[in-house]
Structure 1
């Protein structure tokens, strides 16, 4: 491959990553800013495509949509019913308002209460399983009000 071809390939790969919404980052953990950006894109998709279609995209993340390293979208209604879950689709349809972390924090209820009061914000830290490491880690989640009485969130794991 000559220098021009290598440059064209590299530029095309970079452009494809930018256009697809995926970020190119050196670290294995997503940042707070990236989580907030993903939530904003997720809320925009709910508004443009409708909640049901958006929730399917958040859960199945076709072509890498709404999944980047340890960042993924999850959505709950204000009663605590899981509407979308980008890391564990088995959670969808379950009412998890009372679920608690290892320290006894009812974190889904805490996020819902925060979104009801402020429409958006960061909740945490709380302990949650990191799908990449399979270990419990401290996490905080940025959430915004979604369609109707629901919230859309993306969490970041707190570096040790």
Structure 2
């Protein structure tokens, strides 16, 4: 009986452990990315760009951060205005940043938003910190305040 109990406890622990890993590795959905961008645009309009950018970058009370989804914002010159995954990027001009295949994806997103106002850009390759490998990603973007854009990227399903 003790062996069965120990086995049951061990099995339960393993199941809980691996289900926790699966939850941690979940990707956000395209619908979630679009909603986050739309909520971000609404925040920019209601609270002002500076306050919204700070919220996107700092995530007070978990705002604008869900699984691997976060908002990033650029002006049309390529200057990073907000970055929900890496605050050190804010203030840097990343217009020429390229993925491992040479795709200038920030410029591509800006060009798409200038032409269409909103839409999906990609795919491009981006380092996934959860797997430490380059994976295909695409981003949903919309025009923000003035000549700027807000985007949220999603990793491609495997």
Name segments (4+ residues, structure 1) moved above 4 Å: none
Q: Which of 127, 130, 148 in structure 2 is aligned with 1:129?
A: 127
Unaligned 5+ runs, structure 1: 1-24
Structure having the higher helix fraction is 2
Say if 1:146 and 1:152, in contact at 8 Å, map to a contact too: yes
Structure label with greater radius of gyration: 2
**RMSD of the alignment, in Å?**
1.4
Aligned residue pair count: 136
Match of 2:77 in 1: 79
Match of 2:102 among 101, 104, 125: 104
Output the TM-score relative to the length of structure 1: 0.82
TM norm structure 2 = 0.83
Q: Distance in 2 between matches of 1:92 and 1:133?
A: 24
Q: Which runs of 5+ in 2 are unaligned?
A: 1-22
Distance in 1 separating the partners of 2:140 and 2:38: 10
- Whether the 8 Å contact between 1:87 and 1:131 is mirrored in structure 2 is no
